[in-house]
């Protein structure tokens, strides 16, 4: 799909990943990249989905909008996370079908994979078990968009593709301790502990769980490449192809932040899924995506951005 002079809608385009996706798509010189805001288009409501498609008249819709959070937020909001994520996606794709939108790219989540998926996660393993319990409602809601896209492709010939990005990080991330993911949570803790001269800080879980992380700019480039180059029914992983334990991650972030105190792991807090690491060969084969930003370089950029933003925050 040649994106030049095309009309594009990016739901969630004002969010963390969405801001990078919009920048990447604008480099392709489309006619418009339209970012709906929830106050005008609450996509949980069917009529708002219909109005968005009618108003924007898109050739391409990239559906990033989601209600997301870390382990704590998922444990506290399983019902709303399931309902809102499911309704936003399913209704929007249906309205795109009814309006004859040429292509829809739905962006799912690594949380859709079964809890005990063999590492590295291959897309063919997606249905071989139930997701990890703390984020299963969210993961299953997003997984239904894969089912919908495949069904619509079969029945209506609709070009819907589904991408599965691993855990993302980078500047502009959510650093709210009530809903942030592990990297921004640890960066915030380490920066504040270093500035306060604290002797120790607490890290959730045993530290034995592993994760893979993809820099947000890399993820945006992968999504844009899929918009241009991929037209297929199979889901595609987007990742960096490595894993790191939470213990090693915490020590790495502490070192980069200059925090020299002790890290105290709290085994009473949940670890989440035991391991996460993707097989990224399908994305490279189908549309030429490979992560480029090194992990420590990405962490340094994230830490530097967070410190700069804190420095700009008004003092009370």
Q: Is residue 234 a contact partner of residue 259, using CB atoms and an 8 Å limit?
A: no
- The contacts of residue 191 (CB under 8 Å, 6+ apart) are 257, 259, 303, 306, 307, 310
Structure tokens at 237: 């992983």
User: 178-188 in b/e burial notation, b at 16+ Cβ within 10 A?
Assistant: ebbbbbbbbbb
Q: Is residue 272 a contact partner of residue 71, using CB atoms and an 8 Å limit?
A: yes
The two beta strands, 167-169 and 213-215, are parallel
Residue showing tokens 């799912």: 108
Structure tokens at 221: 């480039």
Separation of alpha carbons 119 and 275, rounded Å: 7
Is 20 annotated as catalytic?
Answer: no
- The contacts of residue 207 (CB under 8 Å, 6+ apart) are 245, 246, 247, 250, 265
CA-CA distances (angstroms) from residue 109 to 126, 132, 171, 238?
Answer: 11, 12, 20, 10
From the candidates 113, 138, 152, 169, give the one annotated as an active-site residue: 138
State the catalytic residues.
138
């Amino acid at each position: 799909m040649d994106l030049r002079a095309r009309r594009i809608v990016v739901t969630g385009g004002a969010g963390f990943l969405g801001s990078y996706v919009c920048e990447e798509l604008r480099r392709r010189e489309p006619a418009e990249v339209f970012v709906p805001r929830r106050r005008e288009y609450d996509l949980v409501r069917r009529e708002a989905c219909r109005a968005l498609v009618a108003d924007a008249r898109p050739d391409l819709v990239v559906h990033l909008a989601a209600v997301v959070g870390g382990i704590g937020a998922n444990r506290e909001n399983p019902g709303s996370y399931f309902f809102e994520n499911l309704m936003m996606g399913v209704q929007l794709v249906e309205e795109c079908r009814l309006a004859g939108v040429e292509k829809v790219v739905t962006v799912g989540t690594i949380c859709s994979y079964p809890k005990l998926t063999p590492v590295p996660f291959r897309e063919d393993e997606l249905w071989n078990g139930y997701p990890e319990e703390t984020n299963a409602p969210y993961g299953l809601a997003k997984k239904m968009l894969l089912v919908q896209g495949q069904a619509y492709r079969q029945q209506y010939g609709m070009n819907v593709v589904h991408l599965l990005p691993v855990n993302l990080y980078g500047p502009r991330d959510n650093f709210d301790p009530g809903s942030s993911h592990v990297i921004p949570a640890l960066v915030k803790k380490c920066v504040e502990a270093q500035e306060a001269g604290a002797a120790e800080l607490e890290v959730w879980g045993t530290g034995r769980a592993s994760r893979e992380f993809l820099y947000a700019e890399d993820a945006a480039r992968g999504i844009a490449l899929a918009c241009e180059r991929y037209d297929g029914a199979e889901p595609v992983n987007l990742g960096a192809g490595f894993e790191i334990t939470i213990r090693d991650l915490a020590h790495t972030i502490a070192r980069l932040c200059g925090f020299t105190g002790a890290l105290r792991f709290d085994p009473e807090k949940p670890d989440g899924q035991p391991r996460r690491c993707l097989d990224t060969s399908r994305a490279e084969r189908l549309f030429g995506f490979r992560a480029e930003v090194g992990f420590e370089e990405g962490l340094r950029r994230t830490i530097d951005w967070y410190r700069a933003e804190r420095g700009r925050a008004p003092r009370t």
